[in-house]
Structure 1
Amino acid sequence: MKYIPMTILGADKLKKELNYLKHIKRKEIIISISEAREHGDLKENAEYHAAREQQSFCENKIQNIESKLSKAQIIDITKITNNGHVIFGTTVTILNLKTNEKLIYRIVGDDEADIKINLISINSPIARGLIRKKINDVVLIKTPRENIKFKILNVEHI
């Protein structure tokens, strides 16, 4: 079985979503289906078909989250000694050597990634280029647009 790396926060977020889908959303959908059935002929009942489609979507999402959680390798970065190397879960401060722009990213699992809040996927080009590097290393990252040189300024386990 292939494990899926995940931070504690990422696993908690998935567990909360799973709980919501199982205990709240499912009940709402059942009520919608029940109300739609009361409207008569199911063959031409758009509300009924929409509710059944919503139920199918919800059940698929539940199965997907349960599968991810069963394969999750939850990593608590705060319990790993910081030796200055970039690993999964670290928060990395880098300097773009071309623009002199400082960037701070946390390397997380695919499901947790959100560039708007500086969470990048372990499978992104930047993260792949940074993994196993250490403070003061200069790294060439190949992106779809161009190759960019970054200097690693700091590595934190937070």
Structure 2
Amino acid sequence: MNKTPLTVAGAEKLRTELHRLKTVERPNVIAAIAEARSHGDLSENAEYEAAKDRQGFIEGRIMEVESKLANAQIIDPTLLDADGRCVFGATVELEDLESGQVVTYQIVGDDEADIKDNKISISSPIARALIGKYAGDIAEVQAPGGVREYEILDVRYV
């Protein structure tokens, strides 16, 4: 299986979620199943069914997170030496040439992308257009509304 790029912060977030799932969520659902079992007839016990469904979801998520961490290639942006080039983990300041709006994004893995936190996925159209470019370059992004042009103002590795 291919390695999936992940920043140090993204890997830590997944580890924290895995720890919470194993130490809090799993014991809680086991207790809920035991409680529902004590109510008798399991064939018509909605609490039992709900708890079993929740257990299946939690166990599935634990397996998914463990797999992601096992297949992760963890990259520390502060250790990158890309000579000012846009690469995975870089924080890029852009100016929309049409509107003049300036935005800053960090290019991260698919699992850690969060536009509210200015983190864009490496597989997004804008990140794909930025990869390999330098400050001062123009990136053309194929957006749903047509081609948008961005000037790369700064590339940082933080």
TM-score, L = length of structure 1? 0.98
Q: 2:39 corresponds to which residue? A: 39
- Structure 1 residue matching 2:78: 3-state secondary structure: helix
Q: Which position in structure 2 is the counterpart of 1:17?
A: 17
| Cross-structure match for 1:105 | 105
- 1:143 alignment counterpart: 143
Query: 1:99-137 CA deviation, whole Å, 9 max, x = no partner?
Result: 000010000000100001100000000000000000100
- Equivalent residue number for residue 70 of structure 2: 70
The yes-or-no answer on 1:127 pairing with 2:127 is yes
Unpaired stretches in structure 1, ≥5 consecutive residues = none
Unaligned runs of 5+ in 2: none
Segments ≥4 residues shifted beyond 2 Å: none
1:144, distance to aligned residue in structure 2 (A): 1.8
Percent identity between matched residues is 48
Deviation at 1:143, TM superposition (A): 1.2
Moved more, 76-85 or 102-111: 76-85
Please state whether the residue corresponding to 1:28 is helix, strand or coil: helix
Deviates more, 1:39-48 or 1:137-146: 137-146
* TM-aligned CA deviation for residue 82 of structure 1: 4.6
The one-letter amino acid of 1:125's match is P
Counterparts of 1:31 and 1:81, CA distance in 2: 50
Where does residue 154 of structure 1 map in the other structure? 154
- The CA deviation string for residues 70-95 of structure 1, in whole angstroms up to 9 with x for no partner, is 00000011111251100000000000
1:42 aligned partner, one-letter code = L
Shift of 1:145: 2.0
> What is the alpha-carbon distance in structure 1 between the residues aligned to residue 147 and residue 54 of structure 2?
44
The question of whether the paired residues in 2 share the 8 Å contact of 1:92 and 1:156 is answered with yes
1:2-30 CA-to-partner distances (Å, cap 9, x unmatched) read 01000000000000000000111100000
Q: Distance in 2 between matches of 1:145 and 1:70?
A: 38
What SS does the corresponding residue of 1:85 show, helix, strand or coil? Answer: coil
Name the counterpart of 2:5. 5
Whole-Å separation in 1 of the counterparts to 2:143 and 2:98 = 14
Contact 1:82 1:156 in 2 (8 A): no
Structure 1 match to 2:83: 83
Name the Cα RMSD after superposition.
Answer: 0.7
Give me the TM-score of the superposition, normalised by structure 2.
0.98
